[in-house]
Amino acid sequence: MRGANGTNDGPDVEAMAEFFDRRAASYDEHMRRSVAKFSDFYRHVADPIERTEEPIAILDLGCGTGLELAFIFEKVPNARITGVDLSQEMLAKLSEKHHDKGKQITLVRASFLDFEIGEERWDYIVSVMAMHHLAPGEKLRLYRAIHKGLKPGGLYIEGDYVVTEEEEEESLKRYAEFRRKYPEAANGAYHIDIPFCSETQLRLLSNAGFMRAETGWEGEQAAVFVAQKLRRNYAELSQKLLEFLDAQSRILHDPAHRVGVNRVLSRDG
């Protein structure tokens, strides 16, 4: 097998950064033509963001050429954006297009799986058309980091391709086969599409700790998911509730307690 890297032993698909480096020049035009209801989709990505003149902090994972930023800046013109992307050429296009906002934009060339998202740093974290290359476990780990990185009450907004449950099952099977052959293809290193159905997306977000996760918009091939981190007072309350439930469960499983329960049961029985 001749790999995309020009050797005879690598996977026959392109590495992620090279894939987008090669297509950066024609990327925007390609998206305008191929994403059904292009403007509707990107408008719905920006929709959950509250209008403000404040310099709020937004992290964009897989920002590419910054298609979503045009829609986001309409709502929050003074936002400070940090964009993370693997492709130098895509980032260069972004800088060129949004040079008028240059002082508000920080670009980082890295994998969003390695980027230090931090703790309670961001008002919003967004990701558009970039997460459908991750396997479920990889995505869940990233969602947990995103949840941790948001300020209390902050929103995670993801726009991405979606498929039916059956299509998801098929592509996961194909992906598992591919990974068995090429273990190095983990962590979205290669351009392989494994989009999920909406139910899987919402389940992963809820497993990552988001108490509220919903589909904000759904088109034929793509959807926008919105997940909110609890506000601080709710977060503290839910932490206390979890500790209380944990203590209750420990008491119930405590052998000394169980002896007591059994004694009462046998006496009353």
Q: Using CB under 6 A, list all residues that contact ligand SAM.
A: 16, 20, 31, 62-64, 67-68, 84-87, 90, 111-113, 128-130, 133, 188
In terms of CB distance, is 151 or 191 closer to ligand SAM? 191
In terms of CB distance, is 84 or 230 closer to ligand SAM? 84
Q: How far is the CB of 207 from ligand SAM (least distance, A)?
A: 20
Q: How far is the CB of 216 from ligand SAM (least distance, A)?
A: 16
Q: How far is the CB of 86 from ligand SAM (least distance, A)?
A: 4
How big is the chain by its Cα radius of gyration, in Å? 22
Q: How far is the CB of 4 from ligand SAM (least distance, A)?
A: 15
In terms of CB distance, is 112 or 210 closer to ligand SAM? 112
In terms of CB distance, is 152 or 187 closer to ligand SAM? 187
In terms of CB distance, is 11 or 188 closer to ligand SAM? 188
In terms of CB distance, is 17 or 150 closer to ligand SAM? 17
Instruction: Give the whole-angstrom CA distance, residue 195 versus residue 171.
Output: 8
In terms of CB distance, is 107 or 213 closer to ligand SAM? 107
Q: How far is the CB of 76 from ligand SAM (least distance, A)?
A: 17
In terms of CB distance, is 128 or 227 closer to ligand SAM? 128
Across the beta sheet with 150-161, the strand order is: 105-109, 80-85, 57-61, 122-128, 150-161, 222-228, 212-218
SS (H, E, C) the chain: CCCCCCCCCCCCCCEHHHHHHHHHHHHHHHHHHHCCCHHHHHHHHHCCCCCCCCCCEEEEECCCCCHHHHHHHHHCCCCEEEEEECCHHHHHHHHHHCHHHHHHEEEEECCCCCCCCCCCCEEEEEEECCCCCCCHHHHHHHHHHHHHHEEEEEEEEEEEECCCHHHHHHHHHHHHHHHHHCHHHCCCCECCCCCCCHHHHHHHHHHCCCCEEEEEEECCCEEEEEEECCCHHHHHHHHHHHHHHHHHHHHHHCHHHHHHHHHHHHHHC
Q: How far is the CB of 84 from ligand SAM (least distance, A)?
A: 6
- Burial of residue 157 (CB within 10 Å: 0-12, 13-18, 19+) is buried
Q: How far is the CB of 129 from ligand SAM (least distance, A)?
A: 4
Q: How far is the CB of 261 from ligand SAM (least distance, A)?
A: 52
- The residue of the chain with the least Cβ separation from ligand SAM equals 64
